[in-house]
Amino acid sequence: MTAPPEARRTRENVENDVNSLFLVLGLVSLVVGAIGIANVTLVTVLERVGEIGLRRALGARTHHIATQFLVESTTTGVIGGIVGASAGTIIVVAVAVARDWTPVMDMWTALVSPVAGGVIGLLAGVYPAMRAASMEPVEALRTGT
């Protein structure tokens, strides 16, 4: 016969498992968000071929075009981080109030979320930005009108 495990030890194991699950869910959310930002930015590049061609024909260099789309994708990521952190904070507080709990949150998570969103947006926008920057002005003007 074995003795039942200590309640404290069992609680710590369950807490570690739940924290690991939330970490994995958060990482999956970041990957899905990155794919979404990359997709939206790529569609934006494809819809603005004429604009890109015109800017290149008027003297914009490849790094100007790339920077434009990187700033747009980074901004999308920062806004997503702000909205996500705000929604998460509201949900935690709402659940805590509904259950008469004391909400416990690490404020660094809410403060770092916009930065993490910006980094994800920046990384997700690299391929679309490079694709936009590599367009030849004549070809972009020909196909973009």
* Mean pLDDT value across residues 102-126: 92
Residue 121 pLDDT exceeds 80: yes
pLDDT in tens, 41-77: 999 999 999 999 999 999 999 999 999 999 999 999 9
Q: Is the pLDDT of residue 145 over 70?
A: no
- The pLDDT value given to residue 83: 95
Q: How far apart are CA 71 and CA 73, in angstroms?
A: 6
The two structure tokens encoding residue 74: 């980074």
Report yes or no: 141 and 57 within 8 Å, Cβ to Cβ. yes
Entry pTM: 0.84
Query: Which tokens in the block code for residue 109?
Result: 């998570």
Q: For residues 96 and 33, is the Cβ–Cβ distance under 8 A?
A: no
Residue 50's nearest CA partner among 125, 135, 126, 128 is: 135
Residue 105 pLDDT > 90, yes or no?
no
Share of the chain above pLDDT 70, in %: 98
Give me the pLDDT at residue 56, please.
93
* pLDDT over 80 at 2, yes or no: no
Residue-range domain boundaries for the chain: 29-144
Q: How far apart are CA 108 and CA 130, in angstroms?
A: 33
